[in-house]
Amino acid sequence: MEHTMMTESTGSHGFTGAKLLVYAAAILVVAEFIGSFTFSVGPGKVVLLPMIWALLMGGALGLFSGRRKSDLRLDIRTQLLAAAVLQPALLLFVSKLGLMVGSALPKLAASGWALAFQELGHFVGTILLGLPLALLLGIKREAIGATFSVGREPSLAIIGEKYGMDSAEGRGVLAEYLTGTVFGAVFIAIFAGFVASLHIFHPLALAMGSGVGSGSMMAAASGAIAAQQTPEMAKDVMTFAAASNLITTTVGTYFTLFISLPMALFGYRVLEPLIGRTTRASSASNAAVDSRPKLGDVQTEAPVLGFTGKLAAWVLTAVLSLVCDWITHGTPLLQGLPGMCFMVLAAVLGDLFATATGRKIPAVCWVSIVAMFMTSPLCPWAAQIAALSAKNDFLGVTTPMLTFAGLSVAKDIPAFRRLGWRIVLVSFVANAGTFLGAALVAQIFHV
């Protein structure tokens, strides 16, 4: 009996994995053949890249297939598997950026204070734009949680420990988290591309603004900016975005805890008596416990894959990336394979280092370090590795990653709907604020 159950479970997991592979491959191929689409909005323009089509198609598939009873639908189990695959896919993307950063370390060092101080803009920008708007819309203490950061996993942990996730602040940070999870990459790509088209900021300042601490949002924003630059500047954009994101990921947690959260609390105390309003959003703060979203309503972390599962995810993402390069640039699969192997190697080694150190330092940092070493002056084979990895386009790795992100988001929509449009709008403005704030600081120090 037990053997039969195990066989059925194994068969079920195999079918789910095969279904995810088919959906991801089909969406990716369609997105790549659609290509880029540009349209004007006032003085600027919006650029929609294949990665955005992939993200949107994945989410739409999850929403529409939820109404069907067929075994072929994108059910919750498949969405959770997509979320699990997304984490290794993100590490492969980080590996690609690390290979680019290693050979550009002199340029990063030359940027000096711009790269160092842009971190201040990331967190101050969310408060300066998001908090006043939240208060004007009648949102109370939820505004603190929604505007003190971009609301990734470390922010959930900070608010959860300090206030509890059932608090008003907890509901606010959850709103920001859900907005970023469901719509963050789409929004920031459109917004960053539009700002880039205005030619107000230097491309490298915008690149630093893209490093918001979320891999998918950074990829979307920097990809939209890079698409409007020359090939050489596009490479620099991705390099500076990766370095900025690494700083935000490592230092940002402490910055959020000791600087931006106290600033948000101070801003709330000062501004709420002056511009705070009482609206339906205010009474929504005191809604019944059963009707409000909680942390358990959303998958805040993907299910953890074992090493074999992660290796399979890296191989799958690598193959899909090679297909992207072949469709978009005509790069033969065998020509792009060596560079892709170095990406996978850096991801594997980085993850092993993270495991060996008890994951006290996140895997994303280890992967970045390993990949940067491979193309840095310290590595005797740096020139050869850099030349091989240059045959792989960074957007080719981005599209598969966002494909898995799109296939995983439909499970979060029910909780997202219950949060209301006001706090969602505030989350969008906070995301715009963190991008503009960092870009402005980088512009001041870079130019």
* Confidence at residue 28, expressed as pLDDT on a 0 to 100 scale: 94
* Confidence at residue 169, expressed as pLDDT on a 0 to 100 scale: 83
Whether residue 75 is predicted with pLDDT greater than 50 in this model: the reply is yes
* Count of positions (residues) in the chain: 447
* Confidence at residue 410, expressed as pLDDT on a 0 to 100 scale: 79
Using alpha carbons only, give the angle 80, 425, 184 rounded to the nearest 5 degrees: 35
Whether residue 17 is predicted with pLDDT greater than 90 in this model: the reply is no
**Unique residue bearing structure tokens 């703060």:** 285
Mean pLDDT score of the chain: 80
User: If we measure between CA atoms, which residue out of 431, 447, 440 comes closest to residue 117?
Assistant: 440
Whether residue 243 is predicted with pLDDT greater than 90 in this model: the reply is no
**pLDDT confidence tier of residue 1, bands split at 50, 70 and 90:** very low
**Is residue 435 a contact partner of residue 212, using CB atoms and an 8 Å limit?**
yes
User: Domain range for residue 423?
Assistant: 2-446
Tell me the average pLDDT across 286-295: 45
Tell me the average pLDDT across 262-272: 91
Name which of 59-63, 340-344, 371-375 the model is least confident about: 59-63
**pLDDT confidence tier of residue 197, bands split at 50, 70 and 90:** very high
Whether residue 5 is predicted with pLDDT greater than 70 in this model: the reply is no
* Confidence at residue 392, expressed as pLDDT on a 0 to 100 scale: 92
Helix (H) or strand (E) holding 44: strand 44-48
Whether residue 378 is predicted with pLDDT greater than 50 in this model: the reply is yes
* Confidence at residue 166, expressed as pLDDT on a 0 to 100 scale: 60
The residue that leads in pLDDT, 40 or 61, is 61
Q: What percentage of residues in the chain have a pLDDT greater than 90?
A: 25
Tell me the average pLDDT across 245-269: 79
The DSSP symbol for 260 reads I
For 83-142, write each residue's pLDDT tens digit.
888 878 888 887 887 888 787 777 666 666 666 677 677 777 788 888 899 888 888 888
* Confidence at residue 113, expressed as pLDDT on a 0 to 100 scale: 61
Angstrom distances, CA of residue 402 to CA of 40, 55, 215, 237, 377: 24, 5, 10, 19, 32
* Confidence at residue 287, expressed as pLDDT on a 0 to 100 scale: 46
User: How far is Cα 224 from Cα 221, in angstroms, rounded to an integer?
Assistant: 5
Whether residue 364 is predicted with pLDDT greater than 60 in this model: the reply is yes
Select the highest-mean-pLDDT range: 45-49, 281-285, 406-410.
406-410
User: How far is Cα 115 from Cα 440, in angstroms, rounded to an integer?
Assistant: 12
Whether residue 31 is predicted with pLDDT greater than 90 in this model: the reply is yes
The DSSP symbol for 227 reads T
Count how many domains the chain has.
Answer: 1
For 297-349, write each residue's pLDDT tens digit.
555 444 568 889 999 999 999 999 999 999 998 999 999 999 999 999 999 99
